[in-house]
Structure formats: structure tokens, C-alpha cells
């Protein structure tokens, strides 16, 4: 029997979280069509910015380009995104090169349909219903989300923190350790705490570690 009532359901994709598989996409970019799968085997820093030809975003793009070579040494690619059009992106990166002498070498997604932005939760309606905020997704080489950073429209991101975050995540992935506050590459790392009383007793007597107490020990890599 045909219903005379219509039910309208609004589909709101759930926000991706740390540990989730990164949402798949294929999108138009300043380097041609790119899909998430193209990055399989590499780490990826996927970041959004509010709008082309805006002051804070321009400083960020120059700064992202500044860390691009260091990220590539970490087997990590950069991919930008905003809801601006492809011609706008092309004009903006050309303008940055012309006015600031910096060639933007990483691709930028033109997400005019907001499809990718919505799947990644890059639009926060109470801040702006039309622009993407300053989101950063660190995606590992198996395409799992390893870290998420959100900054508001008004605050430019810290590039050193993004490099440090990638280095810390890769250190954890490669060595099964954690990294303490303000950790920098080359510094001591935190070893996993013991999981039994006997292991805790052994830990406090382990001379190969810098032991503060049974639950907090560090070591050189």
C-alpha cells in the first residue's frame, strides 16, 4: 500500500575518529583527479583551509610548503582542501608564487560539492556553515586515521607540531612505544607500563631503562 506520508531523513555522516579507516574519496585537485587509494603505502597529512585568497590561509600554505620536503623524507605526503573551485585554487597558488616566490608543490582538492569535507567533518556549522575549518588528518600508510587536529578559522597552525606529530606517530608505529610531553625526535621514549605485579617489580630494577617508577620508564631508541 502506498503511503501518503513522506518521511524525510537527513543523512549526516558520522565524524571520522582516530583508529577509523580514512573515508575514501576521489576528487579534483590542482594535480588532476586524486583518490585516497593513490596514497596507499605512504603516510598522508590531509588538511583543510577556510578559503583561497585569505590572509591566514596564505601564510599557512607558504608554511606547509616549507615543511613539505621534511614530510616527504618521512614518507608522508601533503594534500590540501577547501570548498573553493579548481580555477580559484590554481589562481591562488600562482599568486602565492608570483607574490611570495613560493611554489606550492602539493595538490589541493577543489571540494566545491563539500563531499569530502562533510565525510571528514571539516565543516563545523556553529563556526561557519560554508567554510571548512583548519582540520588536519594524519593518515598512516594503511589508510587508518592516526591523529586529528582542529583549529578555528582565526588561528594559523603550527607546522613544527605537525612534523613532530608525524614523527611521534611513526615512532610509535615502528617501535611500539609512546612519546612523552614535548617529545622531539631523538629524545627518550616511554616504554609500555608492565601489566602484572611481578613485571612491575622487575621493571623498577631494570637498569637498561630510565625508571621514574614502575609505571613510568623511558629508554633511548
Partner 1 sequence: MPCLQPDISMSDARFQAYVNALDGNELNEHEIAEKVNEAIFRVRSALRELEKAAYIEQTVNGYVLTNKATAT
Query: Annotated catalytic sites, by residue?
Result: 57
Of residues 21 and 221, the one with the C-beta less far from partner 1: 21
* Least Å from the CB of residue 29 to partner 1: 8
Please say whether the beta carbons of 31 and 107 come within 8 A.
yes
Of residues 52 and 77, the one with the C-beta less far from partner 1: 77
Sites for partner 1 among residues 170-189 (CB under 8 A): none
Return phi, psi of residue 70, to 5°. -65, -40
- 154-163 residues labelled b (16+ CB within 10 A) or e (exposed): eeebebeebb
Sites for partner 1 among residues 24-83 (CB under 8 A): 31-35, 37-39, 41-42, 72, 77
Please say whether the beta carbons of 94 and 108 come within 8 A.
no
Of residues 139 and 145, the one with the C-beta less far from partner 1: 139
CA dihedral (160, 165, 170, 171) in degrees, to 10, reads: 90
- Residue 60: which of 19, 17, 104, 15 has the closest Cα? 104
* Least Å from the CB of residue 137 to partner 1: 16
Give the three cell numbers for residue 159.
607546522
Of residues 35 and 158, the one with the C-beta less far from partner 1: 35
- Residue 84: which of 108, 102, 119, 61 has the closest Cα? 108
Residues in contact with partner 1 by CB under 8 A are: 31-35, 37-39, 41-42, 72, 77
Amino acid at each position: 500500500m502506498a503511503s501518503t506520508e513522506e518521511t524525510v531523513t537527513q543523512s549526516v555522516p558520522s565524524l571520522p575518529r582516530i583508529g577509523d579507516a580514512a573515508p575514501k574519496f576521489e576528487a579534483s585537485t590542482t594535480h588532476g583527479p586524486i583518490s585516497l587509494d593513490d596514497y596507499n603505502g605512504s603516510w598522508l597529512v590531509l588538511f583543510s583551509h577556510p578559503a583561497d585568497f585569505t590572509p591566514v590561509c596564505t601564510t599557512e600554505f607558504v608554511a606547509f610548503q616549507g615543511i613539505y620536503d621534511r614530510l616527504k623524507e618521512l614518507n608522508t605526503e601533503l594534500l590540501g582542501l577547501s570548498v573553493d573551485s579548481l580555477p580559484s585554487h590554481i589562481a591562488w597558488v600562482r599568486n602565492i608564487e608570483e607574490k611570495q616566490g613560493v611554489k606550492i608543490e602539493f595538490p589541493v582538492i577543489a571540494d566545491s560539492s563539500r563531499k569530502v569535507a562533510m565525510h571528514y567533518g571539516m565543516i563545523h556549522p556553529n563556526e561557519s556553515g560554508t567554510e571548512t575549518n583548519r582540520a588536519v588528518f594524519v593518515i598512516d600508510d594503511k589508510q587508518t586515521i592516526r591523529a586529528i587536529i582542529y583549529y578555528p578559522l582565526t588561528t594559523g597552525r603550527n607546522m613544527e607540531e605537525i612534523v613532530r606529530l608525524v614523527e611521534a606517530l611513526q615512532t610509535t608505529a615502528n617501535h611500539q612505544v609512546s612519546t612523552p610531553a614535548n617529545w622531539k625526535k631523538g629524545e627518550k621514549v616511554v616504554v609500555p607500563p608492565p601489566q602484572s605485579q611481578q613485571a612491575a617489580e622487575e621493571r623498577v630494577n631494570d637498569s637498561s631503562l630510565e625508571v621514574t617508577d614502575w609505571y613510568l620508564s623511558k629508554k633511548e631508541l
